[in-house]
Amino acid sequence: MTPLFPDPLVIDKLSKNFGARKAVDNVSFSVAAGEFVALLGPNGAGKSTLFQILSGLFVADGGSARVTGHDIGRDPIKALADLSIVFQQPALDLDLSVQANCRFQTDLHGIARAEAQQRINHWLERFKLSDRANDACRNLSGGTRRKVELARALLSQPQLLLMDEATVGIDPASRAAIIADVKALCRERAMGVLWATHLVDEAEAADRIVVMAAGSVRFDGAATELMKQSGHGTLLDAFLHLTKAEAKA
């Protein structure tokens, strides 16, 4: 029987190969409503490939991924309608204003202009960006651009937010502020969040940690449980111990 309120994300035995290389190897985990899950792994672990499958850019070779109950492979339009993503590579049009970048997003989602403007005003105010609404994005700092991208991602009211190494290249204060903002929004909106990172300190803020290495899931649980299992007193040491074979490769 299908649950009344499906989890924002359910991944079941998902696989993706590039020739002989298994980029994503039989991966299974889920993200519940209101849950902040860190997808932690070294570079080359398969995190980006997984995100490209979840965003519809790649097609999986096996298994399934469901967003709010909709299979991305079989019903991508409904699945993608319920998620938003902030990629590692910036996606703003730097020559457009903050307001125009946001309006472009609402137009893509077919949101009526009056409703769109209300949403834009809300999120710009939420992230203290109202006074920058008419500024070209080219004139913003890296951290502020990331806040604009986050605000833009939330305009469609997603039930699942994907953050793909979204704090790379910004200063520590801005990075901490974005993590805090996303975690608060996760609770406020009962939104599922999957935060991909290779930075252990970012994962420490999560409700749950999924560790990927060489395309497969090596751990799924609380940070304290990972430290207990590995016999290490810090998450960094536990993570390095778990992925040491890949670090030597």
User: Do 77 and 100 have their domain in common?
Assistant: no
The helix/strand/coil state of 199 is: coil
Same-domain status, 167 and 249? yes
113 Cβ contact list (under 8 Å, min separation 6): 106
Same structural domain for residues 124 and 140? yes
Q: Is the pLDDT of residue 148 over 50?
A: yes
Q: What is the DSSP letter of 139?
A: G
**pLDDT in the model for residue 2:** 42
Band the pLDDT of 4: cuts 50, 70, 90: low
- The answer to whether 86 and 166 have CB atoms below 8 angstroms apart is yes
The partner residues of 212 in beta bridges, in order of sequence, read 217
The residue-averaged pLDDT of 34-58 equals 94
Q: Which domain holds residue 41?
A: 1-82+159-249
Identify which of 166, 178, 194, 152 has the alpha carbon closest to the alpha carbon of residue 53. 194
Q: Do 225 and 180 reside in the same domain of the chain? A: yes
Query: Residue 29: what are its φ and ψ, rounded to 5°?
Result: -170, 175
Q: Residue 54's pLDDT band (boundaries 50, 70, 90)?
A: very high
Question: At 46, which amino acid appears?
Answer: G
Written as six digits, the tokens of 186 are 């996760």
Checking if the pLDDT of 60 tops 60, the result is yes
Q: Which two tokens stand for residue 203?
A: 């994962």
Q: Is the confidence at residue 190, as pLDDT, over 80?
A: yes
The domain boundary, picked from 115, 139, 157, lies at: 157
* pLDDT value, residue 184: 93
Does residue 185 share a domain with residue 168? yes
Same domain, 122 and 223: no
Q: How many domains does the chain have?
A: 2
Statement to judge: residues 148 and 243 lie in one domain? no
205, pLDDT greater than 50: yes
CA dist 148 and 157 (Å) reads: 15
Tell me the average pLDDT of the chain.
92
Q: Report, as an integer, the average pLDDT of 20-46.
A: 95
pLDDT, position 249: 34
Distance CA 105, CA 54 (A): 19
Mean pLDDT of 6-31: 95
Dist. CA 105–CA 94, nearest whole Å: 14
Which residues partner with 16 through β-bridges? 24
Considering the chain, what percentage of its residues have pLDDT values greater than 90? 83
CA angle 2, 47, 164 (to 5 degrees): 90
pLDDT at 168: 84
pLDDT of residue 247: 44
- Quick check: 248 pLDDT over 60? no
244: confidence class by pLDDT, cuts 50, 70, 90:
confident
Q: Do 167 and 78 share a domain, yes or no?
A: yes
Same domain, 206 and 109: no
Pair 146, 166: CB distance under 8 Å: yes
**One domain for residues 224 and 108:** no
